[in-house]
Amino acid sequence: REVASELLDQQRRCEKLEEEIKLLQEELTEIEHKGRLLTEEMSELDKSISRATEDLGDKRKESTELEQNLQSIQQELENLHTAKAQSETEIRNLKDNFVDLYSRDLLAFESRMYEIRSPVSEIKERLVSLKASLSSLGSVNLMAPEEFEPVKQRFEFLSGQYDDLVKARADLVRITNEIRTESAQLFVETYNKIKKNFHNIFRRLFGGGRAELRLSDPDHVLESGIEIFAQPPGKKLENISLLSGGERTLTAIALLFATYMVKPSPFCFLDEIDAALDEANIVQLVNLLREFGTMSQFIVITHNKKTVASADTLLGITMEESGVSKAIAIRVQNENGVVHPVYVPDQPFEEEEVDYEEGRQLEANR
């Protein structure tokens, strides 16, 4: 009985122990579950701590940079305060010096400071240059206002005279240009008339051929030279200097009468114009003289018999006594008491037209 009771107690104790073991196993399972949860939480906490540590390092680095920037800004601010204080001191000294030097307040020119756009270095260079110019002027002449008035009046008087001279010069230049232009036009017109007459009279004297006048500078006709070209029958056109003596003389006679035709005069004196001509050319000259004799009176000094024989009146100079000259006048008449008839050519002469030569007078450079 005691054993059974003890066995029962043991059995009960075993059951109780089993229940406790079961409870302990459940608690152990729960503890293991909680441990896993805690392990996961700790892992998450470790990761959070790592991230927080990294963030903290970045924040510390950023904080360090901000502290450095703050220090540099503070240093710059201190420098600016120092520069400001220096500038204020310099400005104050400049104002005082300006007042001492010029007896004027610098603030009166404050508005102009905002209009300055030049660099400071350039302004300083100009200031040095102006100071040097001011120093070179020397001391101030207190009598300058009194001395300036007569000089001013003299300057105004001379300025008025100068303006009058400039105006007069402009008027003279204008009038001169007008005269030169009109003279050039008249010259070109007269020149072309003489050119045409020269060609036709040359053909009459030589029985053909042609003659030309050429301007050496058509742009300045009033200063231009005139070149003479002639082509007697059977020859080529060449300068008058290349002709024979008789041809040059006859060409010169043609030019003389061509000029004479433009503006004839009542009297014309010809001194031995036929000296270099042969008999055939003298006949041509005599016929030309008698034709022109219808509009003018020609007085010809000559030793040629043919020229003398063709005259209407002869004026001879003789010396009957030594050192005493005597003039003799003879009126030439034919057997009927009539002077030589007016010359009429056998065939009418047909004049040829020549090319009109243009010319002008350019203004001279001044």
Which pair of structure tokens corresponds to residue 202? 């040359």
Q: In the chain, which ranges are E strands?
A: 210-215, 226-231, 238-239, 267-271, 297-301, 313-321, 324-331
Asked if the model's pLDDT at residue 163 lies above 70, the reply is yes
Query: Per-residue pLDDT averaged across 58-85, rounded?
Result: 88
Residue 226 near residue 214 (C-beta atoms within 8 A): yes
Q: Which H or E run contains 141?
A: none
pLDDT tens, residue by residue, 6-33: 777 778 888 888 888 888 888 888 888 8
Residue 84 to residues 70, 124, 192, 354, Cα–Cα distance (Å): 20, 20, 90, 95
- What secondary structure, in 3-state letters, does 168-192 show? HHHHHHHHHHHHHHHHHHHHHHHHH
Note the pTM of the prediction, 2 decimals. 0.50
pLDDT of residue 164: 93
Per-residue model confidence (pLDDT) at position 341: 45
Question: Per residue in 170-183, pLDDT tens?
Answer: 999 889 888 888 88
Q: Per the structure block, which two tokens stand in for 269?
A: 């004196």
Pick 322 or 129 by higher pLDDT. Answer: 129
Which backbone phi and psi does 259 adopt, to 5 degrees? -70, -40
Interval 40-57: pLDDT, tens: 888 888 888 888 888 888
103 against 39, higher pLDDT: 39
pLDDT of residue 317: 82
Cα radius of gyration rounded to whole Å, the chain: 65
* Structure confidence at residue 345 as a pLDDT band (50, 70, 90): low
Record the tokens describing residue 136, joined without a space: 């070179």
Residue 167 has pLDDT above 90, yes or no: yes
Question: Which are the contacts of 285, defined by CB distance < 8 A and separation ≥ 6?
Answer: 205, 250, 253, 273, 274, 277, 307
Rounded distance between C-alpha atoms, residue 293 and residue 132, angstroms: 88
Domain 180-331: give its CATH code: 3.40.50.300
Q: Are 104 and 98 in contact (CB under 8 A)?
A: yes
Closest CA to 310 of 285, 278, 275: 285
pLDDT at 342: 43
Question: What's the whole-number mean pLDDT along residues 60-88?
Answer: 88
Between 79 and 341, where is the model more confident?
Answer: 79
For residue 347, the model assigns a pLDDT of 52
More confident residue, 341 or 285: 285
Q: How far apart are CA 249 and CA 236, in angstroms?
A: 18
pLDDT, position 366: 46
Alpha-carbon span 291 to 344, nearest angstrom = 7
Residue 335 has pLDDT above 70, yes or no: no
Give the pLDDT confidence score for residue 356 in this predicted structure. 79
Q: How far apart are CA 88 and CA 197, in angstroms?
A: 98
Q: Are 200 and 257 in contact (CB under 8 A)?
A: no
The chain-wide mean pLDDT, for the chain, equals: 82
Q: Which of 53-57, 66-70, 308-312, 343-347 has the lowest mean pLDDT?
A: 343-347
Report the pLDDT averaged over residues 335-342: 48
Interacting residues of 326 by C-beta distance below 8 A, sequence separation 6+: 317, 318, 319, 320
pLDDT band at 344 (very low <50, low <70, confident <90, very high): very low
Residue 348 is predicted with a pLDDT of: 54
Q: Are 312 and 340 in contact (CB under 8 A)?
A: yes
Lowest mean pLDDT across 59-68, 72-81, 353-362: 353-362
Band (pLDDT 50/70/90 cuts) for residue 134 is confident
Residues linked to residue 361 through DSSP beta bridges, in sequence order: 220
Q: Give residue 356's identity as a one-letter amino acid code.
A: Y
User: What is the torsional sign of CA 37, 40, 44, 45?
Assistant: positive
| DSSP tag of 359 | -
Mean pLDDT of all residues in 279-303:
85
pLDDT of residue 339: 47
Q: ∠ CA(215), CA(221), CA(223), 5° rounding?
A: 100
How far apart, in whole angstroms, are the C-alpha atoms of residue 292 and residue 139?
88
Compute the CA torsion angle 180, 181, 186, 191 (nearest 10 deg). Answer: 90
pLDDT tens digit sequence for 185-221: 888 889 899 999 889 888 888 888 888 898 888 888 8
